[in-house]
A and B are shown apart, each in its own frame.
Chain A
Amino acid sequence: MPPLTGGGKARKDPAPSRLSYKMKRLWRRAAFRRAVTVHGPIVIAVASIGWAAAQPQIRADVVELTAMVRSAVSERPEFAVRRIDVRGNNLTPEVAQEVRASLSPWLGASSLAADAAEIRAAVGQIGWVESAGVRLSAPETLIVTVRERRPVAIWRRGEALTLLGAAGEHIAPLAARAERPNLPLIAGDGADRAVADALAVIAAAAGVGPRLRGLVRVGERRWNAVIQDGPLVMLPALRAPDAMGYLAALDAGENVLSRDVTHVDLRLADRPTLRLSAEAMEALQAARKPRKPGKDA
């Protein structure tokens, strides 16, 4: 039987070796511990990231990988846009249809990739749209709120008719003048840029009434008013509405538009001029010729 007590091997000395003692004490030095646990890792991480960034191959790989991961996530069916909801106050169905058509690239695409500014720009391409708001209603509906532009005038260039907005925006082409009988007609180069001006002139021409066929921009500077079965009214570049009011007054008083006049020139405010038709001129000259008393008789 082995001995129960004593006689065994001497107990092992529990003393730490000098090396382990020194290492433990070094570890208990706060500055050293901080250097190893905090500063060291930071330096290593920064250095390795810097080194990796300096290698073109690694950087390309990282970019590729990032793109792959990003697309893998964003192209999951859970993130796709399934419905596009076009809203707006008093929205014309055709306009809504057109907006929806312009948004077709986003239908079925990932909602993570959808960029509101881009969508707004795409919708803004449509002439009918004055402004648009875009928001994403989770999980799969894209809501586009559209404010429709109201046409204020029709612009004729040759045979083509274009609807104009209040600031001269080209809204849409128009097939026939008869579709929009209530809108005034303007023509001439640069007329679209002076829509507001034209509207003011037309407002002042209320006295002339339905006989005003439209305005023609001349030299991108001033207007000519075309009167149905009447003369061509040449308006000045400045204060055209006043001149138009003056014309209305002339017409009311002297019935000038119904006379045999081809042009009413109002370009000089202090000197309105009328151009008579050739027959009228002859008649006038005939009327004015002093009758030689002995010749005729």
Chain B
Amino acid sequence: MNPYPADMRAMRERLRAALRRGLIAVLDVGTSQTVCLILQVDAAALEQAEAKGSAHDAHAALRVVGAGITRSRGVRFGEIADMEDSERAIRTALERAEKSVGARVDQVIATVSGARPRSIGAFGEVELEGEEATSRDISRALHASDWPDRREGREVIHAMPVNFTLDGRGSTPDPRGMAAKSLAVDLHAVSVDRTPLRNLAASVRRCDLELAGVVVGSYASGLSSLVEDEQKLGAACIDLGAGSSDIAIFLRGHLIHADSVRMGGDHLTQDISVGLSMPMDAAERIKTFHGGAVATGLDDRELIEAPHIGETHPADRRKISRSALIGVIRPRLEEILEDVRRRLDSAGFQQLPGRRIVLTGGAAQLTGIEETAQRILGRQVRIGRPMRIAGLPQAVSGPDCAAVVGLALHAARPQDEIWDFEPVAAFASRRRIAGAVRWFRDNW
């Protein structure tokens, strides 16, 4: 019933080992840029924070000691399309980050963006063995639920318990020690396409790195862009990336829905390039410097240099008005946001108590996107910048790096997943030996 628990559990073990050793890398292979951060972890402080259960303290135990950003190669729609190129990008980013640290990092946590994430809800219920609920009961309840994605070519990368119910009374964050007769658990699983996931794992492996976890990109962005209250009351984080726009909905501090629209900032560039017949790099440049979502009267008079394709002489440079540019950008942007709204609606976002929407990702830096999004998605829209963590360089603190910062936060305080709960096994001694063997393999 648990399709790849060994993989997931092994990755968790590697993450724990890396945290104990104090150095771990996080890697976001995006469509436009590949970002790698190297985090120094104060293991003692992290342990204290764990004991106190304080997310803030856990984040304070982190320090970014190295950062490497490079242009992505061979990535389309957030998925790896050319292994050779993407591997080169990962090498570049990691090499830069490692160079600034001067130390070698072997474990890396990566995001999976694109790859058509799908949310699966599951429910499991068991009678308690004793008077009070124990972690053994939780484990049994989790494994009693039916959560795998049974479609061909899918792989589950998250399976988080989001809610515990004791005798029909819900919203218990931690049921251990509470008296009840039965324990039910709501599980939220996220599955992605297997091929992009495998490709990502292969790219990382080809760079001599060990994968210590995979996280859905939108979840990582949400972790860094949503403030704690938003995560509690219900909010959606929309990561407007270059190749895909990823949606993550949070409620009561948990991810409850993940989705992705396979359109993003690159499509705006493409439209500019095609619509105004410009070279791609010029289109990207114009979009970044002059692009916008809302045209005003002043924009008619503002002229922008816009070279034609094949035009080489500077004297021949054509000029277009800014409103013409916005006229090309806007329909596509609206299309993306409409698609996002459709997905939010089908996920039942309108029924949540809080309906805040936070836009992040590279395309969220477009001028006027907030107004457009408010018009299409609803009133409560803001642009989110990732949370600050110690030592974060300026270049990595913009909305376009929300996912990688979220990964860092995830590394310090990973959400419990089903594979963190030991399955209730009959052969306890054999498991212990296997654990010892695994410890040796991980640490030596």
Contact = CB atoms under 8 A, between A and B. Distances in A.
Is A bound to B? yes
A3 B311 CA distance: 10
By CB atoms of chain B within 10 A, which of A1, A15, A16, A28 has the most? A15
Interface in B93-107: 95, 98-99, 102-104
Interface string B191-223: 000000000000000011000000000000000
Nearest to B312: A3
Interface in A200-229: none
Contacts of B89: 15
Contacts of A4: 314
B14 interface: no
A23 to B, nearest CB: 11
Nearest to A33: B104
Contacts of B307: 5-6
Nearest to A25: B104
A5 to B, nearest CB: 8
A22 interface: yes
A24 B73 contact: no
Contacts of B208: 21-22, 25
B167 interface: no
Given A15-B92, A24-B95, A28-B104, A6 B279 contact: yes
A1 B312 CA distance: 10
Interface residues of A, number: 18
A293 interface: no
B92 A16 contact: yes
Contacts of B70: 14-15
Nearest to B307: A6
A37 to B, nearest CB: 14
Contacts of A7: 312
Contacts of A15: 70, 88-89, 91-92
Contacts of B99: 24
Nearest to A16: B95
Nearest to B209: A25
A292 interface: no
Interface string A13-31: 1111010011011001110
B282 interface: yes
Interface string B100-130: 0011100000000000000000000000000
By CB atoms of chain A within 10 A, which of B89, B91, B99, B103 has the most? B91
Contacts of A13: 73, 88, 92
B302 interface: no
A15 B98 CA distance: 14
B281 interface: yes
A6 B91 contact: no
Contacts of A22: 208
Given A6-B279, A15-B88, A21-B91, A28 B312 contact: no
Nearest to A21: B91
Nearest to B103: A28
Contacts of B91: 15-16, 18, 21
A29 to B, nearest CB: 5
Given A6-B307, A15-B88, 8 more contacts: A6-B279, A13-B88, A16-B91, A21-B207, A22-B208, A24-B95, A24-B99, A25-B208
26 contacts: A1-B313, A3-B313, A4-B314, A5-B314, A6-B279, A6-B281, A6-B282, A6-B307, A13-B73, A13-B92, A15-B88, A15-B91, A15-B92, A16-B92, A21-B91, A21-B207, A24-B95, A24-B98, A24-B99, A25-B98, A25-B104, A28-B98, A28-B102, A28-B103, A30-B103, A30-B104
Interface of A: 1, 3-7, 13-16, 18, 21-22, 24-25, 28-30
